Amino acid sequence: MCWPRLFVRCWRKGSISAAMEMSMKKTSYAIMLFILISLPFFFPGNCFAHSPAVNSIKNIRVSSDHDYPPYEFNDEKGRPTGFNIDLINAVAEATGLRVDVRLDVWNKVRAELDAGKIDVIAGMYYSKAREEVADFSVPHNMVSSALFVRDSSAIKTFAQARDKEIVVQKGDVMHDFLIEQGFTPVVVTVDDPVKGLQLLAAGKHDCVLLSSKIQGMYLIGKHGIRGIRAIETQLPVRKYCFAVKKNNAALLQKLNEGLNILKHTGKYEQIYEKWFGVYEERSLWQTSRKFIIAFIIVLSLLAIISVITWLLRRQVKKRTGELLISQDRLYTIINTIPDLIWLKDVDGVYLSCNRMFELFFGARESDIVGKTDYDFVSNDLADFFRKNDRRAMAAGKSIINEEWISFAGDGRRVLLETIKTPMYDAGGTLIGVLGIGRDITERKKVEDALQKSEQRFRAIFNSTFQFTGLMTPDGRLLVANQAALEFAGIKMEDIVNQPFWETRWWRGNENRVSQLREAIARAAKGEFIRYEIALQGAGDTTATIDFSLKPVCGENGEVALLIPEGRDITDRKKAEEERELMISELQKALSEVKKLSGMLPICASCKKIRDDKGYWNQIESYIKERSEAQFSHGICPECMKKIYPEFDEKSIKNKKNH
């Protein structure tokens, strides 16, 4: 069973036991075969790099034992059939080979492979001795051997059969084993295992040793043999493989590739279940029942059929425990997180959901599973949900969208950020869509508030007439306001992440650049920097700037940012220069003005002034020599009346009246 499907079935509370039952029903041998047959998948360099020799193989001759059911045998019409035959035909189909399958007596088959008359033996047990004369594929089956005795036999274990008369199939791997190990001096060989079992049931010999327990049970049932029981040999499981002539690496690679394809497409599992499922189903149920009882009573594993079965059962226990813990954690996590989680099939039918999703629909999971969105929400909203499901499946990847929903439980309306992801089984077949919805209502409000705040900040930032920016402590400019950009005639992309001293404002003057870099270094240490500098503007223009660098510290007290600011003081500087020039000119003028100060000796009668040399001078001559003053002469009315009475207008008028 593919993991996504197992996930779906085991998600719901209470389905753990179902998962255990499904896992227990898988055969013990299939577990090991999955590992062995999948090895080429993890080492593709060895398995799929086709050489010309591999690609040239088109037709192969296959043979195997004519009477070794259920693995390989001729049916009533003489046609080759069995697990091995179905498997080699499926491998041939997967790899583009044409096969000619003919079954014969086992010893003859082995001889024909050695002689090169056939290319492949469909089923042959691996051993080190056999590896010297043939090459083996990865195992396509793991087979446990069994010792068959009469019901009345005192033999209870395989060890008690030592030195007894043991019947084996001639040339079989068990025949090789008895000879190699010297287990018993009396080895009775037969051409096929049925004859050996019939001889045992007839009271002849002590036991029959078969390489496959399943084969023995199959033959006993098919031929109605009674009074025989099986004993586990506790021998290691045997690797059952395809065999090719020694050093035929190209064909071996082709067979391994085919087995890997069958495993990963599920075809191998179908063939295996067809031939062995009925036998292993009963055995696994008996074992699992003992396992469950033993686990509850004594918390240990006691059901041992054979050494390899016991080891595999112990592994099953470990994996089952891990599965229980994993599924319990998964169930807890899914139902604890505040997100909505759901799973639909390709038709939009719900397969499962968590508790938060139950609140959305206002129904329990058991009432949701098996239904669609149209059973719970409006047709418009259901159409919207279905449209996004199809988008995710068509894209073959996760898609994200936002959607407003109302909870049926309490009526609250929230904005969801929904992620929908297509799910596939192990064979790559689309099985549905996994959805996760997160409530982002509050986050959206915060984002909107931040966006408005940023808009206000940028409005202020770009509306100010002074030049402003942000940069890192090492001098890389992050942003500059519109006034600074317009002054230099540049765009934002021209300066972002650029060293400040390489921007247009500072180019063309090495002293200016050196002064700036020194200022940045000092500001990065926490010092506030301010000075006046002439900067380059658009075209050939320059301006005098009142420039400053202000450090901004983070929570740790270290400088995190620098704020460069500049005020265009060109007009102010020009006015100051003009004022200074005027003051200078006034000072110069004042310095040329001759001042009169101190006591002036002046005649009380004629008003002459005595100079430093003792000479008496007319007052206008004295002042003219010592200042820039000029004199024009006239006569006041009083003097006119006194000195020139005849010209005084009042006197003339009085005379006329008389």
Q: Over 583-623, what HEC string results?
A: HHHHHHHHHHCCCCCCCCCECCCCCCEECCCCCEECHHHHH
Using CA atoms, how far apart are residues 41 and 51, in angstroms rounded to an integer? 18
Contact 503, 513 (CB under 8 A): no
Per-residue confidence (pLDDT) for residue 2, from 0 to 100:
41
How far, in whole angstroms, is CA 362 from its chain's centroid? 33
Q: What is the pLDDT of residues 122-136, one digit of tens each?
A: 999 998 989 999 999
Starting from the edge strand earliest in sequence, which strands make up the sheet with 340-344, in order? Answer: 350-353, 340-344, 430-439, 413-424, 399-406
Ordered by where they begin, the domains of the chain are 1-142+238-300 (3.40.190.10), 145-236 (3.40.190.10), 337-439 (3.30.450.20), 460-572 (3.30.450.20), 599-658 (no CATH)
- Which residues are CB-contacts of 328 (< 8 A; sequence separation ≥ 6)? 16
pLDDT of the residue at 618: 81
CA distance 72 to 79: 10
pLDDT tens digit string along 309-339? Answer: 888 877 888 888 778 777 777 777 787 788 8
Strand partners for 559: 553
State how beta strands 350-353 and 80-81 pair: unpaired
How much is the pLDDT for 20?
42
In this predicted structure, what is the pLDDT of residue 50? 52
pLDDT at residue number 469: 87
Q: Which of 232, 235, 120 is nearest to 173 (CA)?
A: 235
Length of the chain in terms of residues written: 658
* 10 DSSP β-pair partners: none
Low-confidence ranges of the chain (pLDDT < 70): 1-55, 278-295, 298, 300-305, 453-465, 589-598, 628-629, 647-658
pTM > 0.75: yes or no: no
Spatial CA neighbour of 95 closest among 48, 134, 30: 48
Q: What is the phi/psi pair of residue 80, to 5°?
A: -60, 135
Q: pLDDT, tens digit, for every residue of 395-414?
A: 999 999 888 888 887 888 88
For residue 585, give the amino acid letter: E
- With both helix axes pointing from N to C terminus, report the angle between 28-42 and 249-265 in degrees, rounded to the nearest 10: 120
CB atoms within 10 A of CB 373: 21
